[in-house]
Structure formats: C-alpha cells, structure tokens
Amino acid sequence: MKSEPSSVTALLRGLTRKCPNCGVGALFASYLKPNDSCEHCRESFAGLDADDGPAWLTVGAVTIFAVSLLFILESSGRYSYALEMLIVLPTTVALVLCLLPLAKGFFLSALWLLSRKPNS
C-alpha cells in the first residue's frame, strides 16, 4: 500500500497545480476548473470546493503589494498620476491572474488533506 504524502508535500503540490496525492497528474482541467479526478493515480477531487477562499487570499496579497508599490511611486514624486496608474493597474491585474490558480490549487490541496484525515 502506497503511503500518503505529508501535509507540506501535498500543499506544495497543490501550489504547483498538481495532484496532492501523487504530484504527477494535473489538478486543473483549465485555468480554474478542477479535474474530477487525477488522470495518473485516479484520486477523486469530488466534493472539494474552494469557494471564495482563493480569491480572498489573492486579493489580500496583491493589495498589500499594489498599495506598497503605489506608495513608493507616489512618495518618490518623480512620476505623474497617469504614469503611476499605467504601472500599478496592469501589474495588479497580472498578479491577480497569475496568483489565483496557485491559491486555488493550495486551497484544494488543503481541502483534500482535511477530507483524508480520520475523524478523532
């Protein structure tokens, strides 16, 4: 019988959008749509619903970065408001689009771990 991965390993696999069980199969069928099961180890992902958690995590992390960037640009006094927005807005959108699948993979792996633990 194959041993289950450690919690850290499963979470890191989810962060890389791989199956938390085997680390080989893809966790997602497309950008944010999870697979029903792993094509490699056949582990089921049914019932794992991350809801709004990944979005909240992503928005929180990106907001800290975007506000810090805007503060740095504004306090330098070298850039016009229009140029600051041309820097901050696309950076913010790009970060959200890049981090959202990673956060969702992490959340799905955490939910998978919680569903695998025996109730005490």
Confidence (pTM): 0.87
Dump pLDDT digits (tens) for 19-49.
999 999 999 999 999 999 999 999 999 989 9
* Segment 69-76 mean pLDDT: 94
pLDDT confidence of residue 120: 44
Which residues, other chains included, contact 49 with Cβ-Cβ below 8 Å and sequence gap of 6+?
Answer: 111
Element holding 75 (H helix, E strand): helix 53-76
What are the φ/ψ torsions at residue 39 (nearest 5 degrees)?
Answer: -75, -15
Tokens representing 79 are 């850039």
Residue 101, pLDDT score: 97
The residue-averaged pLDDT of 96-108 equals 97
Which pLDDT band, with edges at 50, 70 and 90, does 56 fall under?
very high
**What average pLDDT score do residues 2-24 get?**
93
Domain-wise residue ranges, the chain:
7-116
Is 80 exceeded by the pLDDT of residue 3? no
